[in-house]
């Protein structure tokens, strides 16, 4: 058996292993690229959503709306300057 194992066989074996490795690597690279694209899209969507939510916060907390809410729903009135305490 051992007579078949000639030292020169090492060369094609190594070449085959390297070729296999190369194929595996390029496949990995391709898979990763797909993953990156997916994550990038997700990131973009999240950014967009956060943008929209920020705007919604700005819109919901605009002073005029809060004033109206405080006055109409909570029966509040603006304090006169003497009712404001500073620390």
Task: Give the binding site for other proteins (CB under 8 A).
Answer: 29-30, 32-34, 36-37, 48, 51-52, 54-55, 58-59, 62-64, 67, 74-75, 78-86
Distance CA 68, CA 78 (A): 11
Shorter beta-carbon distance to other proteins: residue 16 or 60: 60
Shorter beta-carbon distance to other proteins: residue 2 or 59: 59
Shorter beta-carbon distance to other proteins: residue 12 or 63: 63
Judge whether 77 and 71 are in contact, CB under 8 Å: yes
For 82, the enclosing helix (H) or strand (E) is none
Q: How many CB atoms lie within 10 A of CB 15?
A: 10
């Amino acid at each position: 058996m051992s007579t078949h194992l000639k030292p020169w066989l090492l060369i094609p074996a190594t070449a085959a292993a390297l070729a296999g490795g190369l194929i595996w690597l390029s496949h990995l690279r391709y898979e990763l690229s797909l993953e990156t694209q997916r994550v990038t899209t997700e990131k973009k969507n999240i950014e967009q959503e956060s943008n929209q939510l920020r705007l919604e916060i700005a819109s919901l907390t605009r002073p005029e709306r809060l004033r109206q809410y405080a006055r109409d729903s909570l029966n509040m009135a603006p304090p006169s300057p003497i009712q404001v305490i500073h620390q």
